Amino acid sequence: MRLLLGIIAFVCFAEIGPAGSPLTRTFEMGMIFWPPLGEATERNAIERGVGLTVEGSDHLLVQLPWSPTRPEVAGRANWIASIARGHGRRLTIAVDWMEATRDLVLGGRAAPWRFSDRSTRERFVEAVEEAAKRHQPEYFILGVEVNYYAFANPEDFREFVGAYRAAPERIRAASPRTRCLVTFQYELLSGRDVERGAKGDSGPVRAFGPDLDLLGIATYPHLAGLKPGDVSAAYFHQLAALDRPFGIFETSWPSSGPWTEVDQDVYLRRILEVCDRRSARLLIWTATTDTAGIPEVGGDRRAFEAEAGWMRSLGLWRLDGGRKTVVTTWKEWHSRAMRRG
């Protein structure tokens, strides 16, 4: 299938602030595009989604599942990596080796596996090394929301930390400019995840010591029971306590269920202000467009869909390409010139 690979030309003009100086931002902006596979208008939807993603992003992120039974990363990253190269966008590759339910490793119900197995660790490091060599990403995320695994399986989490520590040297030998990290789920990190206890735990961050090139964050404050207008710099106090350079590699607010597109826009404005105030390096919005499906689940899919149906409405655009309220805010901030905080 020929996909949209031609150059999309666009010009962004910085707006002028009250004092006559151009408005600026400290962080790069990007989106994740999840192809709506299985839709009747699949080809058109994919080409439209790619165009919107490229035009509205400095940075593209591709998130791929990983397990010992499906270890290849480099080939599955080809599509987004080629789009990033073709349009002069920076690239992040993220490997996600946990179930969407975040209670065990991917495929662990059908075929249990652990990082304590030496061959698993070796296959993991080899896979990310090859992907780094082929695609030269700006950032390589070697685990997504890994503090969930520290909560669910602390013993094997320690084994993963050992596997992680073996990876950066080999990744940098293959791609010297690539920075290595994992992401942490902020609501769990800060004690706001009511399902897993209200006690914050920065131990999983400290477990990596100095081996994280950047503190990666995934955050969904609606899961903590907040309203979008409640989100402020104070909510992210744990970031100040950790005192590390950080980026938000995954965030959004649903526009369905009890929430509206206006709620989503209020949240975007708040999180953009937080990133600017705290000098974030990067903000990645979870989805360019709404999606028809949700991630693969190895357990009770029906129960997961009932609980996590909100995942379908995280996009800046609707599934049919219609603009939501939030698009205007995103484009205004993306038009701002970069500054270093």
Q: Which tens digits make up the pLDDT trace of 182-233?
A: 999 999 999 988 777 667 889 999 999 999 999 999 999 998 999 999 999 9
| Alpha helix (H) residue ranges in 186-325 | 186-189, 203-206, 237-242, 261-277, 301-308
Name all domains of the chain by residue range, CATH numbers in brackets.
33-338 (3.20.20.80)
How distant is the alpha carbon of residue 169 from its chain centre? 23
User: What CA–CA distance (Å, rounded) separates 283 from 272?
Assistant: 8
Q: What is the pLDDT of residue 46?
A: 85
pLDDT higher than threshold 70 for residue 317: yes
User: What CA–CA distance (Å, rounded) separates 94 from 144?
Assistant: 7
Q: Which tens digits make up the pLDDT trace of 322-340?
A: 999 999 999 999 999 998 7
pTM of structure? 0.89
How distant is the alpha carbon of residue 247 from its chain centre? 10
Strand 59-65 versus strand 28-31 pairing type: parallel
pLDDT higher than threshold 80 for residue 106: yes
pLDDT higher than threshold 70 for residue 11: no
Q: What is the DSSP string of 157-181?
A: HHHHHHHHHHHHHHHHHH-TT-EEE
User: What CA–CA distance (Å, rounded) separates 35 from 83?
Assistant: 14
Q: Which tens digits make up the pLDDT trace of 136-158?
A: 999 999 999 999 999 999 999 99
